[in-house]
Amino acid sequence: MTEHDRPLRFAVVGAGMAGLLSAIKLREAGCTDVTIYEKADRIGGTWRENTYPGLSCDVPSHLYSYSFELNPDWSHQFSPGAEIQAYFEHVVEKYDLAPLIRFSEDVTSLAWADGRWHLDTAAGHHDEADVVIAATGVLRVPRYPDIEGIDTFAGACFHSARWDHAVPLAGRRVGIIGTGSTAVQIVSAIVGEVGHLDLFQRTPQWVLQQPNPAYDEPTRADYRAHPEKLEALHKGLSQLFAEGFANAIVDADSPQVQGIQAACLANLENNVKDPELRERLRPTYRAACKRLIVSPDFYEAIQQPNASLVTDPIVAVEPGGVRTADGTLHELDVLVLATGFRADAFMRPMQIIGRGGVTLETAWTPRPEAYLSISIPDFPNLFMLNGPNGPVGNFSLIEVAELQFGYILQLVDQLRSGACREISARADVLAVFEAEREEAARHTVWVTGCQSWYLDDRGIPAVWPFTFDRFRAEMAAPDLDAYERA
């Protein structure tokens, strides 16, 4: 920041992983006029909202950490959700972010007028900012299944992201709808406690068996004493993920994808004893087509004597339980909806009005688009972290957000230096980018014969379809010609 820089006011929406990152990086860059708006009364985003039993991050903890705040004390290779929440709370304290955060302030509208964003919250607070950072998260809005009679269920029924901890599970009959990453973690965690568990599977999943060893105290002490070892570990994992997974996943026939397929198949063949159950668990599409399930022990859990895999389609929910197409009523005390999220919500339902009165709803009809998932034409000085069509899935979204924020800061520099007062992606550049993105997306493993939350309404993956190396290269420096500057 130089004395000639134009002072800018920043509003960051969301005090989750990406919002906290934004505030830290803005302050580091000398931008101190920052307010973070948080709808809840605590920080944490997805790690605050999700508290279901077995919650953990299936990206290694030493990778799922800010690169500038590595944690020598992670308990496990894949640490539990509560520990991740505690890590972000520690970050807030260490970086003294609490004074920047306005809690219980749900931003309901943003309007661009007179060269600034006018922001309003549900609680009636009004603010104006030169720049808005939308750090509202990806999988935030629960998707409830449209099943006949679901409201008539007499027991407790809740979505996995709205876990009701007041409901006892011990010895009770629990049903779980869904077989995504969430359901798989819940099954392993609760099968030993419940009386009976019914897992309602609509589509089988490929499961990669991945042990989850604990870090012992000598290892953690070694990381504390040698931060350079921790840095090397973080770098090594990042490289391993990029080369072994993120670069390869976009090529359905890459040796890495074939290796993943072979490992998942071996897990199924070796670890499910009953041939009939094994066939019901066998997917008919390719591994990594849906987001890959990573679990140390899902097959072991579903083979417990008190667990049943229900594959007959659900026809209705009744007061007593779930009725399947074969006529059986699966009697339940508790029904968990591990049915996923509306992946296309992003900042919505916030009302956002850009330049010339254009609404985000209009700009995002028929579907959300953003240049490099960061900037939307006619929405100047509004930048998204983990926005539409970015790298999501089996990725460290922290690494993605850090790369994106490095890019955003360079756009912000244009505003600070006075080179321009408004900056947003050019509509023609976005159209060319989207055409190339869609074409590449049609050749990825995500379109090899499965349904998933990656796919848009046309069945085209709404994610980054290029290599992670290309993502890194794009994020290194913006091509300013791609931007309309005024």
> Of the two residues 35 and 160, which places its CB atom closer to ligand NAP in the complex?
160
x/- mask, ligand NAP, residues 148-167, rule CB under 6 A, reads: ------------x-------
Per CB under 6 A, the list member of 121, 182, 188, 389 interacting with ligand NAP is 182
Q: Is 139 in the site for ligand NAP (CB under 6 A)?
A: yes
Between 85 and 339, name the residue whose CB sits nearer to ligand NAP: 339
Residue number with CB closer to ligand NAP (209 or 339):
339
Q: Which residue is nearest to ligand NAP (CB)?
A: 180
Residue among 123, 428, 451, 476 that touches ligand NAP (CB under 6 A): 451
User: DSSP code of 167?
Assistant: S
Phi-psi region of 395 (alpha: psi -120 to 50; beta: other; left: phi over 0): beta
The SS3 assignment for 234 reads helix
Smallest separation, CB 47 to ligand NAP (Å): 10
CB of 200 to ligand NAP, least distance (A): 6
Task: At 101, give phi and psi (nearest 5°).
Answer: -95, 130
Q: Which of 107, 147, 370, 475 binds ligand NAP (CB under 6 A)?
A: 147
When the beta carbons of 132 and 135 are compared against ligand NAP, the nearer one is 135
Strands (E), 63-166: 101-102, 107-113, 116-121, 126-129, 131-134, 156-159
- Choosing from 249, 334, 338, 353, the residue that interacts with ligand NAP (CB under 6 A) is 338
* Interface with ligand NAP: number of residues (CB under 6 A): 27
The residue among 72 and 180 lying less far from ligand NAP, judged by its C-beta, is 180
Q: Is 180 in the site for ligand NAP (CB under 6 A)?
A: yes
Q: How far is the CB of 212 from ligand NAP (least distance, A)?
A: 11
Q: 43 vs 177, which CB is nearer to ligand NAP?
A: 177
Stretch that binds ligand NAP, among 37-45, 172-180, 251-259, 411-419 (CB under 6 A): 172-180
Query: Which residues share a beta bridge with 321?
Result: 318, 331
Let me know how many helices (H) and strands (E) the chain has, helices first: 13, 21
Long-range contacts of 328-334 (CB under 8 A, 24+ apart): 330/175, 330/198, 330/200, 331/173, 332/153, 332/155, 332/173, 332/174, 332/175, 332/198, 333/155, 333/156, 333/172, 333/173, 333/174, 334/155, 334/156, 334/157, 334/167, 334/169, 334/172, 334/173, 334/174, 334/175
| Closest separation in Å from C-beta 182 to ligand NAP | 3
Binds ligand NAP (CB under 6 A): choice among 9, 27, 42, 202: 202
What are the residues whose beta carbons fall under 8 Å from the beta carbon of 68, sequence distance 6 or more?
Answer: 24
Instruction: Return d(Cα 191, Cα 197) in angstroms, integer.
Output: 7
Q: Is 391 in the site for ligand NAP (CB under 6 A)?
A: no
Tokens for 255? 């040796």
480 phi and psi angles, rounded to 5 deg: -65, -20
Write each residue from 279 to 308 as x if it is in contact with ligand NAP (CB under 6 A), else as -, in one continuous string: ------------x-----------------
Angle at 52 (CA atoms; ends 50, 54), nearest 5 degrees: 115
Q: What is the DSSP letter of 80?
A: B
Which token pair is 237? 């994992």
- Residues 73, 83, 145, 251: which binds ligand NAP (CB under 6 A)? 145
d(CA 110, CA 277): 52
Q: Between 247 and 311, whose beta carbon lies closer to ligand NAP? A: 311
Nearer to ligand NAP, 118 or 143 (CB): 143
For ligand NAP, which residue of 12, 100, 177, 376 counts as binding (CB under 6 A)? 177
For position 179 contacting ligand NAP by CB under 6 A, the verdict is yes
Q: How far is the CB of 326 from ligand NAP (least distance, A)?
A: 15
Q: Minimal distance in Å, beta carbon 3 to ligand NAP?
A: 45
DSSP letter for each residue of 363-405: HTSSS---BTTTB-TT-TTEEESS-TTSS-SSS-HHHHHHHHH
Instruction: Determine, following the binding rule CB under 6 A, whether residue 321 of this chain makes contact with ligand NAP.
Output: no
Query: Under the criterion CB under 6 A, does residue 323 sit at the interface with ligand NAP?
Result: no
To the nearest 10°, report the CA torsion of 26, 28, 31, 32.
100
Interacting span for ligand NAP (CB under 6 A) from 56-64, 225-233, 407-415, 456-464: 56-64
Q: How far is the CB of 341 from ligand NAP (least distance, A)?
A: 6
Backbone torsions φ then ψ of 73, nearest 5 degrees = -100, 15
Per the DSSP assignment, residues forming a β-bridge with 34 are: 10
**CB contact set of 166 (below 8 Å; sequence gap of 6+):** none
What separation in angstroms does the CA of 67 have from each of 101, 180, 396? 22, 29, 11
* Integer CA distances (angstroms), 130 to 117, 217, 235, 383, 486, in order: 6, 47, 35, 11, 14
Q: Which residue, 292 or 415, has its beta carbon nearer to ligand NAP?
A: 292
Distance CA 176, CA 267 (A): 22
Q: Does 408 bind ligand NAP (CB under 6 A)?
A: no
What single DSSP character describes residue 244?
Answer: I
> Between residues 55 and 382, which has the closer beta carbon with respect to ligand NAP?
55
Contact region for ligand NAP (CB under 6 A) — 57-65, 162-170, 255-263, 267-275?
Answer: 57-65
Query: Which residues are at the interface with ligand NAP (CB under 6 A)?
Result: 56-59, 139, 145, 147, 160, 177-183, 185, 202-203, 291, 314, 338-341, 393, 451, 453
